Structure 1
Amino acid sequence: MIKWLLLLFGALKFSKLLTTGGTMLLSVGVYAWIYGWRYAVGFVGLLFVHEMGHFIAARQRGLKVGAPTFIPFLGAWIEMKDMPHNAETEAYVGLGGPLIGTLGALACYAVARDGGPDLMWLLAVSYAGFFLNLFNLIPLSPLDGGRITAVLSPKLWLLGAPILVGLFWLNPNPVLLIVALLAAPQVFKAWKFRAEDPIHADYYRASPQTRWIYGTAYLGLLVFLAVMTHDVHELLKAA
Structure 2
Amino acid sequence: MKLVLLLLTAGKFSKMLLTGGSMLLSVVAYALIFGWRYAVGFVGLIFVHEMGHYLAARQRGLDVGLPTFIPFVGAWIELKDQPHDVETEAWVGFSGPLLGSLAALGCYFAAREGGSTLLLALAYAGFFINLFNLIPISPLDGGRITAVLTPRVWLVGVPVLVAVFLWRPSPLLILVAVLAAPQVIRAWKYDPEDPANQAYYAVTAETRLTYCVYYLGLLAFLAVMAHDTHEMLGAVRSLRG
Q: TM-score range by the shorter chain?
A: over 0.9
Equivalent residue runs for 1:81-230 within 5 Å = 81-116=80-115, 119-230=116-227
In the alignment, which residue of structure 2 is the partner of 1:33?
A: 32
1:3 Cα deviation after fit: 2.7
Residue matched to 1:11? 10
Rounded to whole Å, the distance in 2 between the matches of 1:197 and 1:11 is 44
Residue 5 (structure 1) shift? 2.4
Secondary structure of 1:151's counterpart equals coil
Q: CA deviation at 1:68?
A: 0.4
Deviations 1:177-224, CA, capped at 9 Å, x for gaps = 000000011111111112222231100111000000000000000000
Query: Which whole-Å CA distance do the structure 2 matches of 1:111 and 1:225 have between them?
Result: 17
Whichever residue aligns with residue 155 of structure 1, its letter is: R
Rounded to whole Å, the distance in 1 between the matches of 2:218 and 2:53 is: 16
- With 21-30 and 192-201 compared, the bigger mean Cα shift is at 192-201
Work out whether 1:65 is the aligned partner of 2:95. Answer: no
- Partner SS, residue 76 of structure 1: strand
What is the percent sequence identity of the aligned residues? 66
Once residues 223 and 168 of structure 2 are traced to their aligned partners in structure 1, the CA distance between those partners, rounded to angstroms, is 18
Aligned with 2:15: secondary structure? Answer: helix
- Whole-angstrom CA distance in 2 between matches of 1:3 and 1:198: 46
**Matched residues in 2 for 1:9 and 1:156: separation?**
41
Provide the TM-score with structure 2 as the length reference.
0.96
Provide the aligned C-alpha RMSD in A. Answer: 0.8
Aligned to 1:56: 55
Q: What amino acid is aligned across from residue 91 of structure 2 in structure 1?
A: Y
Measure the CA separation in 1 of the matches of 2:38 and 2:119.
7
- How many residues in Structure 1 have an aligned counterpart in Structure 2? 236
Q: CA offset at residue 151 of structure 1?
A: 0.6
- CA distance in 2 between counterparts of 1:226 and 1:120 reads 20
CA distance in 2, matches of 1:233, 1:5: 52
- How far does the alpha carbon of each residue in 1:23-52 deviate from its partner, in whole angstroms, 9 at most, with x for none? 000000111111011100100000000000
Partners of 2:56 and 2:28 lie apart in 1 by: 29
Q: List alignment gaps of at least 5 residues for structure 1.
A: none
Superposed displacement of residue 13, structure 1: 1.2
CA distance in 2, matches of 1:114, 1:67: 33
The one-letter amino acid of 1:205's match is A
Unmatched segments (≥5 aa) in structure 2: 237-241
Q: TM-score, normalised by structure 1?
A: 0.97
| Partner Cα distance (2:199, 2:8) in 1 | 37
Q: Which residue of 1 aligns with 2:239?
A: none
